[in-house]
Structure 1
C-alpha cells in the first residue's frame, strides 16, 4: 500500500475541531473507537477533503472551502445524495454515511464517507509506478472506459433524474458560466469576450441521449487499484455532477488533458500524467471515446472550447477568493496566469475551427 494516496498536515487556516467532530460522529455512527487524528488530502482547490483516522476505522470528511462565495457551488447535501443513489448503478462511488446540516458544528455543512484506499495520480507517475508505453495506454483506456460507463448509467433507475434538466442544458451552461465568470472578475482577469460570443453563436442542439455529467473527470479524481494500477476502483469529487450532454462533459475533461506536444506554457498547467508515452492525444481520447460509446463525433471544437472557458471560470472563482484574502493557500496565487493561458488556447481552438 506504499503507493496509496497520502495525506498532509492540515493547511493553516483550514483546521477542524477533532473533539467536536468526534462527538457528532459518535452520536450518528456506531463502533468508532478513539479520537480521530485529522490530516488533509493534498489535491483539490474547491471543496476540502480530510482523513479522519480512528483506532479502528478510516473515514473521509468533505466540507466547503473557507470563505466560499456561492453556497450552491458547494452543496454538501446534493453530493451526499449522489453518492448514496449512484452507487447502485456505478459502483465506483464511495459510500456516504453522515450528512451534517447544522453549520454550528464546524462552521459549515459537511458529510462523511468511506475511505477507498488506492493510488491517486497527480502531475506525474510516482517513481514506483514504472509503466511502459503499453501499460500506460491500458490505463488511459481504462480511464476513458469508466467515463463512457458513467455516461451510460440509467440515471432515472438510480433515482437521480432530479439532479438536472437535460432540455436546454447547453444553453444554460454557456449563459451560466458566462455569468459566474463575470461575477468573479478581478481587475487583472481577461474578459474572454470573443470566446463567449463564439460559444453563444455556435451552441449545438440538446444531446439525443442525455446522461450523468461528472463535470470534473480527471486522473486525480479516480482511484487506482494498488494491486493492479491499470484498473480504476473509485471515482471521487461529485460536487458538480448533473444530468446533461455527455459531450459537454467530454469537453470538460479535454480541457485538463495536456498532451506531450503542447507548448511549454500549457505544460505548466498540467495536473495529470496525460503527456506520458502511451497516453492518447486529445483527438485520440475523442476517437476512443466515440468508439466505445458507439457514436460519431464529427467535430469536438465547440465542446473543447467550452471546457476551456468553464475551467477558466472555476479557476477565476478560486482566484477571486485569493485576491480578496478569503484564502491564504499559496497555490492560488498563479491561477490568474492559468486563466490567461486558457483564454489564449480557447482562442486558438476557435481560429483553427474556422480555417
Structure 2
C-alpha cells in the first residue's frame, strides 16, 4: 500500500468528457499535450476531484457534485479566486491554473490546479507509513501553527476583504446551519431541535478580530511531506472559506477530532487518525491555539458543540442526496447513522460542558 494519495477509476455516474477537457486545456494552458486521461480521487464527500493526465503533466480538476446542491455551496469561481489571492501569501495552497464556466465544456463551472504530491492521512495510516508517537505530537503542533498562520493573515491586504461579512457572523452561522439541517432532514434522523435551541441561546459575541477561516481544516485536507511527516506542505478544499470568527473555525476542526476517551459510537464514525499514539487531545489543541494566537478562549464547549452540529449538517446534506436516489455512492448510505451519533455527542457536551 502506498502512502501517497492515489486516483482511481471514475465512479459510475460521475464521469467527465475527456475529449472536451483535453481540447479546453490545450487551448488555455501552455505546453499541454492530449489526449487527456481522467481518474478520480475517491475520498471526500462534497466537491468532486479528478486527476487529469495530459502527456507527462498531471493536473487536478474540481467540480460540484452531481445531484441536489446547497444554494450557496460549490461555487467554483469563488474557490478559484480565493486560491489565486492566497497563493502569493500562503504557500500551502495549490496553484490555480484555469477556470471555466462554458457549458460547452462541462455542464457546471470547474477549475484546474496544480497537483501537489504528498501524504494525506485518513482514518488509518497505511502500513507503509510509520508515524511514531513523538512525530504525531509534532504534527499536531504544526497543524495548529498552520491554522494560526492562516488566521493571522492580512486578508484585506491580499484582496479578500469582500469574501465574507464578519459582522453578525456567529448568529448567521447558527441560524444558517440550523436552516440547512431542517431543509435537508429526512425522516430517519434526529430533529436536532434541542441542540439548535441551545446553540442559539448561548451564542458568544463576534470575535473582536475577524480572520480568514478555512471552515474545513482537518488532517485529510492537509498534505504532508513524504520525507518528513511532521511538515505540512499543502492545504486543500477551500470551498467553505470566508471571513469570520477564527474560534468557530477551530471548533469546526475539532468537531472531527475523536480521542481515546470518547464513546465507542463516536469512534465508529471517525474519519481521521486522531486515535494514533502521540496525537494530542482536544484540550491540548485548544491550549496550543491560545498560545499561538495570544487569545483566551471562553466556553470552548459551545464552539465544539457547534462543530459537532455543523458536521452533522454536512453529513445530512450529503445523506439527503443518497436517501432520494441522487447519488449512487454507497459511502453516503451510512451518514444517517453518523448524524444520530453526532446528535448524542452534542447533547452530552451541552449537559456536561466538557469537550
Please report the TM-score for the alignment, with normalisation by the length of structure 1: 0.97
Q: Which residue of 1 aligns with 2:24?
A: 24
Q: 1:106 — aligned with what?
A: 106
Aligned positions, number: 354
CA distance in 2, matches of 1:43, 1:262: 25
Look up the match of 1:312. Answer: 312
State the Cα deviation string for residues 129-174 of structure 1 (Å, max 9, x = none): 2122111101111111111111111100110111101110000000
**Alignment correspondent of 2:213:** 213
The answer to whether 1:269 aligns with 2:277 is no
C-alpha contact 2:100 2:109 (8 A) present in aligned 1:
yes
- Contact residue 258 and residue 267 of structure 1 kept, 8 A: yes
Q: SS of the counterpart of 2:308?
A: helix
**1:72 Cα deviation from its structure 2 partner:** 1.8
Contact 2:100/2:111 (<8 A) preserved: yes
Match of 1:281 in 2: 281
| Alpha-carbon displacement from aligned partner over 1:262-281 (angstroms, at most 9, x marks no partner) | 12111111111111111111
Residues 297-344 of structure 1: CA deviation (Å, up to 9, x unaligned): 132111001111111111110011111111010000010010000000
Give the SS at the match of 1:113: strand
Deviations 1:61-115 (CA, angstroms, capped at 9, x unpaired):
0000001323420100000000000112211100111111123422211000000
Further displaced range: 236-245 or 278-287: 278-287
Q: Residues 248 and 31 (structure 1 numbering): CA distance in 2 closer, same or farther, change over 3 Å?
A: same
Of residues 85-94 and 330-339 in structure 1, the stretch that sits farther from structure 2 once superposed is 85-94
Q: Which residue of 1 aligns with 2:299?
A: 299
For 1:278-300, what per-residue CA distance to the aligned partner results, in whole angstroms no more than 9, with x for missing partners?
A: 11111111111111111111321
The correspondence of residues 15-164 of structure 1 with structure 2, limited to 5 A, is: 15-164=15-164
The corresponding residue for 2:321 is 321
Q: Quote the Cα distance in structure 1 between the aligned partners of 2:244 and 2:20.
A: 39
Task: State the superposition RMSD in angstroms.
Answer: 1.3
SS at structure 1 position matched to 2:255: helix
The runs of 5 or more residues in structure 1 that have no matched partner are none
Confirm or deny: 8 A CA contact 2:164 2:244 kept in the other structure: yes
* Cα 1:256/1:299, change in 2 over 3 Å: same
On the 8 A contact 2:22/2:54 being kept in 1, the answer is: no
Residue 61 of structure 2 contacts residue 113 of structure 2 at CA under 8 Å; is this kept in 1?
A: yes
Given that 1:89 and 1:154 are in contact with CA atoms closer than 8 Å, whether structure 2 keeps it comes out as: no
Aligned mates of 2:132, 2:322 — CA distance in 1: 40
**What pairs with 1:169-180 in structure 2 (closer than 5 Å)?**
169-180=169-180
Q: Distance in 2 between matches of 1:99 and 1:189?
A: 38
What does residue 331 of structure 2 align with? 331
> Is the contact made by 2:67 and 2:321 (CA closer than 8 Å) also made in structure 1?
yes
CA distance in 1, matches of 2:308, 2:2: 35
Counterpart-to-counterpart distance in 1, 2:289 and 2:173? 22
For 2:72, what is the secondary structure of its paired residue? helix
Say whether the 8 Å CA contact 1:66–1:327 is kept in structure 2.
Answer: yes
Deviations 1:4-45 (A, max 9, x none): 211111111101110011011111111111312111112110
Runs of 4+ residues deviating >6 angstroms: none
Q: Which string of whole-angstrom CA distances, capped at 9 and with x for unpartnered residues, describes residues 156-206 of structure 1?
A: 011011110111000000010011111111111211111111111101111
- Partners of 1:126 and 1:32 lie apart in 2 by 34
Which stretch shifts more, 96-105 or 202-211? 96-105
Q: Which runs of 5+ in 2 are unaligned?
A: none
Alignment check: 8 A CA contact 2:131 2:229 kept:
no
